[in-house]
């Protein structure tokens, strides 16, 4: 039984699930519960390996995880766990496995830097089954090198596993894994954004296994992204506090100009937005406001967003100066430009 459990651990077609330093969200189930506290979200995965039929499924919601592992009709066990991310690099997790077996598991992950991750997990009891490992990314996410050491106290087994994952393009991963006896498997993962599929081939068993993962979060994908556009219209004045009234009776006050700046700043972290179109219609922004808005748009452009200005007319030095912060300046076919001191 012990050897079968070890074999099951190292044949997940998703690379991250096989090393204690890498899993997060649903792939932490039956791997390292500490990963449930990293980049929390809603996610579900399932894998299948034939002959003997091995089915593994896991689901994560926030920092909680639940999983099921079944080998033909003889062995079935379940896991429920939770992970918590501390300020800084460390995450801790606990899981309880029950069914045909019963054990408590404690795990730790440390994302020290973007290029270095550490992991450790152990059963809690009189006889230990421990994994400890390291993963390094010398070329950021394009290459991941991993190694895990395993000590199983019941039969006094000490062994190690190592692997490498190469990402030639975003959303496509090729990997290779092996143990100390060089029994290896290799595989491919593809990401479609919120869906990931994986397949692997085991050299010793001469068999394939596969898996699918569905996530509420978006992974990097090999599918080219469409340039999504958001539009901002500058019209009228923008007081610091905008007051609303009903029949002349004020009933609500909300941020005006400050809200405009905050909305623009938030676009820097929106991966789904690539182009910002600014439409100018009778804007009454003051000189100080335009200068601050110009600085905000420049930061937005430096974050990788394309800024496009459009107006029916440019009849103000201030308005045209603001438009110069963009990548392109568009004018209505029937429009005109009238700037003192500039001859067209």
pLDDT tens series, the chain, 344 aa:
444 343 344 478 999 999 999 999 999 999 999 999 998 889 999 999 887 788 999 999 999 999 999 887 778 889 999 999 999 899 999 999 998 888 899 999 999 998 999 999 999 876 788 999 999 999 888 999 999 999 887 777 889 999 999 999 989 999 999 999 999 999 999 999 899 999 999 988 888 999 999 999 989 888 876 768 888 888 877 776 655 555 555 544 454 678 888 888 888 888 778 899 989 887 778 888 888 889 999 999 998 889 999 988 887 788 888 888 889 999 888 888 877 665 55
Q: Which of 118, 115, 93 is nearest to 106 (CA)?
A: 93
The Cα–Cα gap between 156 and 233 comes to 69
How is residue 209 written in tokens?
Answer: 């296994």
Phi and psi (nearest 5°) for 51? 50, 75
The total of other beta-carbon atoms located within 10 Å of residue 149's CB is 16
Which pLDDT does position 245 carry in this prediction? Answer: 55
How is residue 277 written in tokens?
Answer: 């179109």
pTM, rounded to two decimals: 0.68
The label of the residue with tokens 């421990």 reads 130
The residues near 280 (Cβ < 8 Å, ≥ 6 apart) are 234, 309, 310, 311, 314, 319, 322, 323
In this structure, the dihedral spanned by the alpha carbons of residues 49, 53, 54 and 58, taken in order and rounded to 10 degrees, is 90
Which pLDDT does position 7 carry in this prediction? Answer: 38
Phi and psi (nearest 5°) for 38? -100, 125
* H runs (alpha helix) in the chain: 2-9, 257-266, 287-302, 317-323
The total of other beta-carbon atoms located within 10 Å of residue 125's CB is 11
The Cα–Cα gap between 22 and 256 comes to 44
């Amino acid at each position: 039984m012990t050897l079968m459990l070890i074999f099951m651990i190292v044949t997940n077609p998703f690379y991250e699930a096989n090393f204690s330093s890498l899993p997060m969200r649903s792939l932490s189930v039956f791997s390292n519960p500490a990963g449930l506290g990293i980049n929390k979200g809603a996610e579900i995965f399932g894998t299948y390996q034939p002959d003997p039929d091995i089915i593994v499924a896991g689901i994560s919601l926030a920092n909680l995880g639940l999983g099921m592992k079944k080998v033909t009709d003889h062995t079935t066990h379940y896991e429920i766990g939770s992970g918590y991310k501390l300020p800084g690099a460390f995450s801790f997790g606990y899981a309880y496995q029950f069914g045909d077996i019963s054990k408590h598991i404690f795990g730790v992950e440390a994302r020290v830097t973007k290029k270095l991750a550490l992991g450790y997990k152990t059963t809690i009891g009189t006889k230990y089954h421990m994994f400890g490992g390291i993963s390094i990314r010398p070329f950021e996410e394009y290459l991941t090198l991993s190694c895990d050491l395993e000590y199983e106290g019941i039969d006094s087994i000490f062994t190690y596993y190592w692997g490498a994952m190469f990402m030639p393009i975003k959303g496509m991963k090729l990997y290779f894994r092996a143990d100390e006896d060089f029994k290896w498997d290799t595989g491919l993962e593809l990401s479609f954004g919120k869906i990931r599929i994986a397949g692997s081939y085991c050299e010793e068993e001469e068999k394939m296994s596969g898996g699918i993962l569905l996530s509420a979060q978006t992974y990097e994908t090999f599918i080219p992204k469409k340039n999504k556009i958001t539009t901002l219209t500058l019209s009228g004045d923008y007081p610091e506090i905008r007051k609303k009234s009903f029949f002349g009776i004020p009933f609500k006050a909300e941020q005006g100009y400050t809200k405009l700046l905050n909305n623009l700043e938030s676009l820097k972290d929106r991966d789904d937005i690539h182009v910002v179109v600014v439409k100018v219609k009778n804007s009454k922004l003051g000189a100080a406001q335009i200068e601050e808005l110009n600085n905000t748009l420049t930061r937005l452009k430096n974050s990788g967003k394309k800024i496009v200005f459009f107006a029916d007319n440019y009849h103000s030095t201030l308005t045209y100066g603001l438009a110069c912060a963009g990548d392109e300046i568009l004018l209505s076919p029937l429009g005109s430009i009238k700037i003192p001191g500039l001859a067209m």
